[in-house]
Amino acid sequence: MSSEPDPRDVAEEQRRADRLHRTVDVACALLRQSRLTRAEAESVVAQARTQALALFPGKEDVFDLVLTPRFRRILDERWPKERGRILPFAPKSRGARS
């Protein structure tokens, strides 16, 4: 038995990772450069999450841990007056923010 991963599986995993990277980059660019409302921006993030989970099913926790803070930072920079809003998929807050 070989413990080496199948090269086709590795290539497929890399293809999905590349697509996820492009999806997140496009979503971030839209958030930074488009004239969207906060609600529309949150919809962009939700769509990116949907696409990410289609590529990597069952990895909601990873998305929320790794990518949610990146999206939240962009949203809070662009819409600071609406900072108290929470993305619908965000994990529970660990501490109160003012």
Q: What is the dihedral of CA 73, 79, 83, 89, to 10 degrees?
A: -60
Note the pTM of the prediction, 2 decimals.
0.78
User: How many Cβ atoms are within 10 Å of 52's Cβ, its own excluded?
Assistant: 22
In this structure, which amino acid lies at residue 19? R
Where do the structural domains in the chain lie, given as residue ranges? 12-82
CB 41 within 8 A of CB 75: yes
User: How many Cβ atoms are within 10 Å of 36's Cβ, its own excluded?
Assistant: 16
What is residue 72's predicted lDDT score, i.e. its pLDDT? Answer: 94
What is residue 46's predicted lDDT score, i.e. its pLDDT? Answer: 95
Mean pLDDT of all residues in 13-35: 97
